[in-house]
Chain A
């Protein structure tokens, strides 16, 4: 059965930005350098995780975030104390961007006692009450209702905090997403729904799975506004995020941001990614890489020299190596932990 549909756009050089077509506002030296460091940390962390998976140190499922770094890093800049973040199973980038310790995250991946969940959650199930990170959820789409519940709690308490609820183009076809949209719009809950459209729900491309491939329109029947955003450009993410978060803080209800992004690696470590061409991946890598974009601007604006950036690279590598070291040498959880934390 051949269904002719226009393919969802690969993130292109002409950014959709925040729905207005204009180039995104510049972030300036300090912010760009911070973004560079954060994105690089995620990239190097994920590369290391992939390597450690290959060495058998990480088991089970491991979903890498490489290629999508600008989304979480840009959105994190829009938040304030008390805001909440929740996502699905491709969650390492979210955790690092909200300030969770790379050692604790990596040790969770290796199933050690120093992991965020004492080794009992693994790659897909980590939390940090302190950092406002509510998981880390393994059931596709479940986090959308949960994130709506976080927003419900903000609304109930009468504060102006916002829930950032991340999910993918695959989860966007789950029924509970629309049940949640309905309630969020009905009750004007402060939740930004971030649809990370990386073009593939595991091995199924967006146009093979979705009748409406413009996910920013998925809230239309609930009157939820939505923008399509160039998720490879941290400036565009930040600009769109600011607008959406402000919308929620001021009590206007939910907002949808479709982040046009791309994952370079397979769905999980065991995915050979035969459903797309090497050329497709290579094209995005060379033309739209989120880290290279920042790097180019930093150099062009002389915000830092090549040598200074190399120093940042070395610092990030040191952090990641330390995390890898820790997570390799940290002992497994004590056997008594088998029966703890079932009920309080």
Chain B
């Protein structure tokens, strides 16, 4: 029987990839372990090894094909005596689109090392590159952007990289440190190209030592430098949380205003996909509890860029919460020399009149999709992207609730003592008389994140839950 070689999933969240190169030709003998092809994901080029022995009988997907869905047959391996004509594989699901020149697009440095095999617990899951069209906010992308500004489409990953590069060009006290930020080009490729441009003095690979390098970063900030400390994920920052809170957040106060700590702690926060309880926690509520910290959690690429630039310029310690699922998603970003978004300002991402939906970061995907669904039922939701969690712009939320009389808060984190609880308390304090229903909360379920796909899905908020909550507060 001829054996179909299928497009492999090279990470938990990969749904498609580019077939960059065939390293074997039709007629070549292959044995298990031979590299037969190279596949590009949105952040790495990975080798595909043969699992079966035989002869490469037929290539079904030519090299250079982009966006090949996982599990699509890409080649046929024949056993001895078999003929290529015996292969009766279906045509690939989607092919014939020439591969985009990802290298040019992301200005990938020439010697980007390839990602290792996925067994390493610390190797991050890959972002869902397949989510090509995240829900886009309907309002003007950024109130501060001059009308008529040209917009360019870029991923959140590129926006973050550009923000760091621009600030590093502008201020030579800015440097980035963390695990795999330099030679590896970033565990999630967010720091791609920075080493090549700025050199190893300003793009510093650290050992795996979160507590220690967070403290080193804070010490450097106390001495007047402006470190950007990347945590491979905020899950690992729990080892460093003493330095973040006791040393970074409190020193300005404890020194009577003498000594500040201009530092950015950034990295992916919250659930990725199928990485279970220890790698999926949302720390929004944890950090937003702390006086002295600024906590930012944007959703669009434009906001990621503008707010990271603002965070780097801030004289205060900033917790900059990113999201792995969002890294690969594309949004329009204003083409400006210096796009800075002010910290502490929420934005109306979609205007409406019937119910206010408050969200931030990945929570915005549920909120915007729910608003779309609700509109079909003639319920017009106003979606507010908080963007900054501390200081929280309750004014924008309260103004909206005064108009709609109803509110639902969406978060991936746990409900108890969550940011949603804070938002609803503020609404209760400032707009009680305007409320026509209790504030609804949609959140991650009160469990450690399970691994099984079905349970994981149940543990996260869903668009349906947001729709149901919005209908409940509207009594419709």
Residues on A facing B (Cβ under 8 Å): 84, 86, 115-121, 125-129, 134-139, 142, 144-154, 156, 175-176, 179-180, 182-183, 186, 340-344
- Say how far A227's CB is from chain B's closest CB, in angstroms: 24
Flag if B256 contacts A152 (CB, 8 Å). Answer: no
A179 to B240, CA, bound (A): 12
A149 and B222 in contact (CB under 8 A), knowing A179-B209, A183-B209, A342-B292? Answer: yes
Q: Is B26 an interface residue (CB 8 A)?
A: no
A180 to B218, CA, bound (A): 13
- Say how far B237's CB is from chain A's closest CB, in angstroms: 14
The answer, among B216, B253, B254, B255, for a CB contact under 8 Å with A145, is B216
- Say how far A60's CB is from chain B's closest CB, in angstroms: 13
Flag if A150 contacts B255 (CB, 8 Å). Answer: no
A138 and B243 in contact (CB under 8 A), knowing A116-B256, A341-B256? Answer: no
> Can you give 14 A-B contacts (C-beta < 8 A)?
A120-B253, A126-B255, A134-B222, A145-B243, A146-B219, A148-B212, A149-B217, A153-B223, A156-B225, A179-B213, A179-B215, A180-B216, A186-B207, A342-B292
With both beta carbons as reference points, the residue of chain A lying nearest to B257 in the complex is identified as A341
**Set of chain B residues within 8 Å of A344, measured between Cβ atoms:** 252, 257, 260, 315-316
What 1/0 mask marks residues of chain B from 259 to 281 whose CB sits below 8 Å from any chain A CB?
A: 11000000000000000000000
A341 and B221 in contact (CB under 8 A), knowing A142-B246, A148-B215, A176-B211? Answer: no
Flag if A343 contacts B294 (CB, 8 Å). Answer: yes
What 1/0 mask marks residues of chain B from 277 to 308 whose CB sits below 8 Å from any chain A CB?
A: 00000000000000110100000000000000
**Set of chain B residues within 8 Å of A142, measured between Cβ atoms:** 215, 242-243, 246-247
What size tier do the contact residues of chain B reach? 35 or more
**Set of chain B residues within 8 Å of A148, measured between Cβ atoms:** 212, 215-216, 219
Q: Is B108 an interface residue (CB 8 A)?
A: no
- Say how far B298's CB is from chain A's closest CB, in angstroms: 19
Flag if B255 contacts A149 (CB, 8 Å). Answer: no
Additional A-B contacts beyond A179-B211, A342-B291, A343-B292 (20; CB < 8 A): A84-B223, A120-B253, A120-B254, A121-B253, A121-B254, A127-B251, A134-B222, A138-B246, A139-B242, A139-B247, A145-B216, A148-B216, A148-B219, A152-B225, A179-B207, A180-B216, A183-B216, A340-B257, A342-B253, A343-B252
Flag if B206 contacts A183 (CB, 8 Å). Answer: yes
- Say how far A314's CB is from chain B's closest CB, in angstroms: 32
A118 to B252, CA, bound (A): 11
Residues on B facing A (Cβ under 8 Å): 175, 201, 206-207, 209, 211-225, 242-243, 246-247, 251-260, 291-292, 294, 315-316
- Say how far A340's CB is from chain B's closest CB, in angstroms: 7
Flag if A145 contacts B214 (CB, 8 Å). Answer: yes
With both beta carbons as reference points, the residue of chain B lying nearest to A124 in the complex is identified as B254
A153 and B225 in contact (CB under 8 A), knowing A146-B219, A180-B215, A183-B206? Answer: yes
Which of B201, B216, B254, B316 is most buried by chain A, counting CB atoms within 10 A of its CB? B216
The answer, among B175, B253, B256, for a CB contact under 8 Å with A115, is B256
Which of B206, B222, B223, B253 is most buried by chain A, counting CB atoms within 10 A of its CB? B223
With both beta carbons as reference points, the residue of chain B lying nearest to A156 in the complex is identified as B225
**Set of chain B residues within 8 Å of A136, measured between Cβ atoms:** 254
**Set of chain A residues within 8 Å of B259, measured between Cβ atoms:** 127, 129, 134-135
- Say how far A124's CB is from chain B's closest CB, in angstroms: 9
**Set of chain A residues within 8 Å of B246, measured between Cβ atoms:** 138-139, 142
